[in-house]
Structure 1
Amino acid sequence: MKLRSFVFFLFGLLLVGCQATNADSEQASHGVTDFSHRSIQFAQVPERIAVLGNGELDIVYALEQEVVARPTSQGQPVVAEADQAEQIGSYHEVDIERLTLTQPDVVFANDPMNQKDVTAIEGTGAEVVLTRANSINDIKAQITLIGEVVQQEEKARHIVRGIEKTEKEMVDEPLHTETKALLIYGAPGSNLVALPNSLAGNLLEAAGGINIAAEFEQLQDYPQYAALSPERIIQANPAIVFFMAHGDPSSVEESFIQEMKQHAGWSQLPAVQEGRMNILPADLFGTNPGTRVTEAIDYMREQLTEAQSE
């Protein structure tokens, strides 16, 4: 009788152990669908993470993970803790050799810019997850997706709820009057106007501003931007002019301000005459801010509010 009880006891332990093992296996093995509708399967939770964009870098650390590889930067990375991670280029040009040395399990890259690089990146032994950040909703979806990949779904949901709270606050407390704004994206040798379908345009609208370029014709190669048209801008008479540049804006902002003040047309704008020209922080507007998108919305709201009072 004692032998039979002992056998049943051992069988029970074995059954519980199998159930626990199966549960662990199901937890580790999982699949996701990225922004380009690719299905990616993971045999286990990826530990060695590489990212090609600053937004993804911020999100990974906000989810209490870390990276072995990050975007190349001239100074300190947007997340100080990632300073020692290998620098592997950017969306525009991936350094496959350096990436291979880090032996990543997963690489977060851009859709559509890195679609052409998927095969080469997979050659390192890593899975590739493509995302993008053309809007606040995209960033929320990025956070959710990366949370699924690293199995930190609850942390991701908490961050997304925080962003949605900020969005709701903007809606519940609208600006006193309509505030028209011009968003200029500066690049060496050229300036473009950001449209509502760009991330900066979406941030402007979320903060309660009105984009005067809403009806401008989008550029074929850069559909989130339009050509600079002084005549149309002068006619629209924005209350404030925002300027942003990718990375360090110092190389282009000086020439931009000089052009605005000296150009016969620009100098007629009250916003220029009265100094309502704002150089947007590069870490919030020159790149995907990741979880700091709430800071970007708040900053834009502050500037719009100041423009109203002047």
Structure 2
Amino acid sequence: MMNQKHMVNLKWVLSLVLIASLLVLSACGNNKVDTVQETSSNQVMETATAETTSDTSEQAIEVTDLAGNVVKLDKVPERVIALSAGDMEIVYALGGTVVGRTTVSDTVNPPEAEDVPELGNMMNLSLEKIASLNPDLIIAHQQLNAKSVPALKEMGVNVLLTGASTLDDIYKTIDIIGTVMQKNSEADTLIKKIEDKVKSVNKSENPVRALIVFGVSGNWMVALPNSLSGNLLEVAGGVNIAKDYPQLEKYSQYAQLNTERILEANPDAIFLISPGPAKVAMDSFTKEMENNPAWQSIDAVKNGHFVLLPNSLFGSNPGPRVVESIDFFIEELEKVKQ
């Protein structure tokens, strides 16, 4: 038989074992609860993330286009038609695609848009083809597509109007299309790229004085600084001799071609741009100058600084390639100085 002292020690040992067991069970229980709570928390976060992603792609979008119209979309458009080359290039530059485009006389940019169905030129669109593509957004030019806009809206399709007259308008167009596509970060990056180009231009102390002629045979005008080509000339460091000409009532970005004022200003360079075939325009205006001996006294003509501006870079909104438009002017202005 155990004595009393041994009995006490045994009870003490058993008590310690019991306490240790309870502590282990308690710890296991707490770990289990913590694991359940952590799993539950993760599931809630994953669900919240999924809901946020879904909400972003399906949320309503509202923008004001360059014509001042409020355009509302239920979600990010999936079938976009762009009726100007510049707007199409913006869509692709931001990571999107189009299902329809206008016919262009120059190389299609970007190359991946070459096989996209053509819808006619900007002045003669095929409304039937447009309808057959089931677009959920049409990006149109407010001036060049003005006659077609009512019919486009009658299709029940959202129409977003652009029409870059200045560099600031190009920035606004990129920002608007970026918002519609939910590509705001990409739009900011693209705008900054253009802004950096503008900041990098070195302005000369003796800038080239230039004239920009716009139009077709028998109907020539001169571009003012508030036109796209006029604005880009100044961005590139040139001076527009027509900056003080009175603007036309119907075409506020242009002024009447006044031979006397041009002779008096004696520009160093003359740039020509036409909405029609480039060579036809060049030949036509050259012939008109040859028929008027006074033109032969102008420095630009005497020195052969008479340059045709490519439609792809100056005809309407050049989109992301506006940096190429600026470079074109810079190179031509440098030639005059040499």
Q: Check whether TM > 0.5.
A: yes
How many residues align? The count is 307
Of the three residues 132, 145, 158, the one matched with 1:101 is 132
Please name the residue that 1:26 is paired with.
56
2:86·2:316 contact (CA, 8 Å) conserved in 1? Answer: yes
Consecutive unaligned residues in structure 2, runs of 5 or more: 1-28
Please name the residue that 1:57 is paired with.
88
**Deviation at residue 282 of structure 1 after TM alignment:** 2.0
1:63-95 Cα offsets, whole Å, 9 max, x none, are: 121111111335653433222222224554443
1:226-264 Cα offsets, whole Å, 9 max, x none, are: 111111000001011111112531121111122223312
Please name the residue that 1:251 is paired with.
280
Distance in 2 separating the partners of 1:155 and 1:122: 29
Of the three residues 247, 252, 259, the one matched with 1:218 is 247
Of the three residues 315, 325, 336, the one matched with 1:286 is 315
Residues 1:74 and 1:291: Cα distance change in structure 2 (over 3 Å): closer
Please name the residue that 2:324 is paired with.
295
Distance in 2 separating the partners of 1:55 and 1:235: 37
**Deviation at residue 6 of structure 1 after TM alignment:** 6.4
Please name the residue that 2:24 is paired with.
none
Residues 1:15 and 1:300: Cα distance change in structure 2 (over 3 Å): closer
Which amino acid letter does the alignment assign opposite residue 67 of structure 1? V
Distance in 1 separating the partners of 2:290 and 2:302: 8
Distance in 2 separating the partners of 1:79 and 1:12: 44
**Deviation at residue 206 of structure 1 after TM alignment:** 0.3
Distance in 1 separating the partners of 2:64 and 2:240: 33
Alignment of 1:132-211 (within 5 A): 132-170=163-201, 173-211=202-240
1:273 has 2:308 as partner: no
Which amino acid letter does the alignment assign opposite residue 331 of structure 2? E
Residues 1:282 and 1:12: Cα distance change in structure 2 (over 3 Å): closer
2:233·2:240 contact (CA, 8 Å) conserved in 1? Answer: yes
Normalised by the length of structure 2, the TM-score is 0.82
Q: Which stretch shows the higher mean deviation, 209-218 or 39-48?
A: 39-48
Residues 1:182 and 1:8: Cα distance change in structure 2 (over 3 Å): closer
2:273·2:311 contact (CA, 8 Å) conserved in 1? Answer: yes
Please name the residue that 2:73 is paired with.
42
Which amino acid letter does the alignment assign opposite residue 124 of structure 1? M
Distance in 2 separating the partners of 1:106 and 1:267: 51
Larger radius of gyration: 2
1:104·1:125 contact (CA, 8 Å) conserved in 2? Answer: no
Residues 1:115 and 1:26: Cα distance change in structure 2 (over 3 Å): farther
Distance in 2 separating the partners of 1:146 and 1:39: 13
Normalised by the length of structure 1, the TM-score is 0.89
1:194·1:226 contact (CA, 8 Å) conserved in 2? Answer: yes
Which amino acid letter does the alignment assign opposite residue 194 of structure 2? I
Residues 1:292 and 1:76: Cα distance change in structure 2 (over 3 Å): closer
**Deviation at residue 125 of structure 1 after TM alignment:** 4.1
Please name the residue that 1:263 is paired with.
292
For the residue of structure 1 that corresponds to 2:250, the secondary structure is: coil
Distance in 2 separating the partners of 1:174 and 1:32: 36
Residues 1:77 and 1:148: Cα distance change in structure 2 (over 3 Å): same
Distance in 2 separating the partners of 1:205 and 1:223: 18
Please name the residue that 2:155 is paired with.
124
For the residue of structure 2 that corresponds to 1:265, the secondary structure is: helix
Residues 1:282 and 1:271: Cα distance change in structure 2 (over 3 Å): same
For the residue of structure 1 that corresponds to 2:243, the secondary structure is: coil
Which amino acid letter does the alignment assign opposite residue 109 of structure 1? A
Aligned-pair Cα RMSD in Å? 2.5
**Deviation at residue 27 of structure 1 after TM alignment:** 3.8
